[in-house]
């Protein structure tokens, strides 16, 4: 009997360990038919286009050398046949096991209505790459997030500093695969550090001064914030519960 398992059956079975799931990228024999930018990139840069993959049936990924990211991405933005004027995202991927970290650029051309994903692989002992803030200002905070969470340095970034974790965060980079689930310090040490943080790590001087002024709400006499009649009903319910106990 043929296997008629539906997607609902898979849900009922529950999740499987990721180690049991094998997902291989689709190798594209003819990039020309698959994505016009891939052919154009190959013609323009030759062996600098390291490989081309397709995932999820239509997501095209081009791998390029990290030392040529600025050159190739500039061409993708400025060439009239490409015009990738929108940087949707800059992120990173760590597959663990000592494998290189991947810097990922999600591009979209508003003129040609097409998307392209560009990746650079960085060895663990050379986690540096040129910033693309000069091409797309949207990269500013995105690169800071990657720097913060993965430890990748973006050279010539205008303001490269942590953006989610405190500036003196000493436990490393939380999205790296070698980062412990509970952090590198004990819970007691994490609590001690959190309570001893300098407010200037989080706020500007003007904000600290504003917080020091009297910002408390005026004192409230009796039950507040409920519409007329609801306070009395709530009080009766609470009284009833106390009596039953």
CA-based nearest residue to 79, from 121, 37, 51: 37
Angstrom distance (rounded) from CA 129 to CA 143: 10
By the 10 Å C-beta count (0-12 exposed, 13-18 middle, 19+ buried), 200 is classed as exposed
Q: Identify each DSSP E strand in 36-195 by its residue range.
A: 51-55, 59-63, 86-93, 101-109, 114-122, 128-130, 153-155
In CATH, which of 3.40.220.10, 3.10.450.630, 3.40.1080.10, 3.30.460.80 is domain 24-163? 3.30.460.80
Largest CA distance in the chain: 84
Q: pLDDT tens digits for the chain (245 residues)? A: 445 666 667 667 766 666 666 666 655 555 445 799 999 999 999 999 999 999 988 899 999 999 999 999 999 999 999 999 999 999 999 999 999 999 999 999 999 999 999 999 999 999 999 999 999 999 999 999 999 999 999 999 999 999 998 888 889 999 999 998 888 888 898 888 878 877 776 777 888 788 765 455 455 554 444 444 444 444 444 444 444 44
The pTM for the full model equals 0.70
Angstrom distance (rounded) from CA 36 to CA 40: 6
Tokens representing 52 are 């081309």
Domain ranges (residues) in the chain: 24-163, 165-203
By the 10 Å C-beta count (0-12 exposed, 13-18 middle, 19+ buried), 65 is classed as middle
Contact indicator for 157, 145 with CB cutoff of 8 Å: no
């Amino acid at each position: 009997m043929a296997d008629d398992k539906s997607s609902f059956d898979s849900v009922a079975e529950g999740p499987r360990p990721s180690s049991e799931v094998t997902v291989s990228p689709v190798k594209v024999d003819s990039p020309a038919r698959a994505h016009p930018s891939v052919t154009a990139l190959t013609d323009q840069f030759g062996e600098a286009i390291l490989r081309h993959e397709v995932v999820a049936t239509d997501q095209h990924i081009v791998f390029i050398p990290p030392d040529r990211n600025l050159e190739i991405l500039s061409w993708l933005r400025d060439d009239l046949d490409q015009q990738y004027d929108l940087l949707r995202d800059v992120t990173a991927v760590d597959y663990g096991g000592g494998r290189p970290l991947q810097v990922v650029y999600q591009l979209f051309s508003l003129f040609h209505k097409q998307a392209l994903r560009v990746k650079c692989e960085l060895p663990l002992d050379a986690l540096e790459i040129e910033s693309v803030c000069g091409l797309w200002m949207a990269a500013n905070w995105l690169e800071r997030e990657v720097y913060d969470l993965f430890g990748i340095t973006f050279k010539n970034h205008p303001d490269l500093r942590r953006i989610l974790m405190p500036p003196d965060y000493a436990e490393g980079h939380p999205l790296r695969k070698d980062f412990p689930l509970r952090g590198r310090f004990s819970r007691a040490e994490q609590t001690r550090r959190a309570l001893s943080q300098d407010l200037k790590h989080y706020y500007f001087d003007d904000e600290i001064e504003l917080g020091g002024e009297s910002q408390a709400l005026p004192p409230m006499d009796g039950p507040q914030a409920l519409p007329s009649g609801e306070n009395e009903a709530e009080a009766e319910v609470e009284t009833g519960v106390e009596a039953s106990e």
